[in-house]
């Protein structure tokens, strides 16, 4: 069931609609849109990242989840399902939404709204944008003074450095099988 674009609904109305819906949607400042379709490459890339992160950080008190977990951004303006989320410690939640991810990742193309809203979420220390067409990952890292630094990791010989999670993952492992015919 496709959600129509509505001029404005409250977050509470969206959550009630989402609980009854057979498909998932995004909410941004009163607008509801269908969740974009994921390409096979994007799905495999997200799955590879989920597995790598689970192996690397889960035993250190982190919870690694896929795109079935909805998060609320710090401004409260956006409710969305990132491709991968990492929560440190127990879930803090409102209803079935977590409010304390420390890391999120999206397979491109994410919306401009999503990337801006991730920066407004105090718990997020880092987020990654994963290219589905080439081995390229853009990582946004929050510094202690609140500024953000963007670092690119490119090529199968590169190693993704997720400092917020104290984790390093070779891009060759993340992109394993993604470009196979």
Do 74 and 14 fall into the same domain? no
Q: Residue 179: inside a domain, yes or no? A: no
Give Cβ neighbours of residue 107 (< 8 Å, ≥ 6 apart): 38, 39, 41, 42, 43, 45, 46, 83, 130, 132
Q: How far apart are CA 71 and CA 164, in angstroms?
A: 18
Q: How far apart are CA 145 and CA 106, in angstroms?
A: 25
Each residue's pLDDT tens digit, 41-95: 999 999 999 999 999 998 888 999 999 899 998 878 899 999 999 999 888 877 7
Q: Residue 132: inside a domain, yes or no? A: yes
Assign 2 a pLDDT band (cuts: 50, 70, 90): low
Contacts 24+ apart (CB under 8 A), 147-151: 148/119
**Which structural domain range is residue 102 located in?**
39-174
Please give the pLDDT value at position 55.
92
Handedness of CA 180, 153, 173, 126 (dihedral sign): negative
What is the mean pLDDT of the segment spanning 113-141? 90
Please give the pLDDT value at position 93.
79
Q: Which residue has the higher pLDDT, 165 or 33?
A: 165
């Amino acid at each position: 069931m496709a959600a129509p674009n509505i001029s404005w609904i409250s977050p509470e109305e969206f959550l009630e609609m989402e609980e009854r819906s057979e498909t998932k949607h995004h909410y941004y400042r009163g607008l509801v849109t269908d969740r974009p379709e994921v390409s096979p490459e994007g799905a495999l890339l997200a799955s590879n990242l989920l597995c790598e992160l689970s192996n690397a950080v889960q035993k250190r008190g982190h919870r690694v989840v896929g795109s079935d977990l909805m998060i609320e951004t710090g401004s409260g303006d956006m409710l969305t399902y990132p491709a991968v989320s990492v929560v440190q410690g127990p879930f803090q939640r409102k209803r079935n939404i977590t409010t304390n991810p420390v890391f999120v990742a999206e397979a491109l193309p994410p919306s401009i709204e999503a990337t801006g809203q991730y920066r407004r979420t105090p718990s997020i220390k880092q987020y990654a944008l994963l290219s589905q067409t080439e081995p390229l990952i853009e990582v946004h890292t929050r510094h202690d003074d609140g500024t953000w630094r963007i670092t690119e990791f490119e090529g199968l010989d590169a190693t993704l450095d997720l400092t917020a999670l104290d984790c390093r993952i070779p891009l060759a492992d993340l992109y394993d099988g993604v470009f196979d015919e």
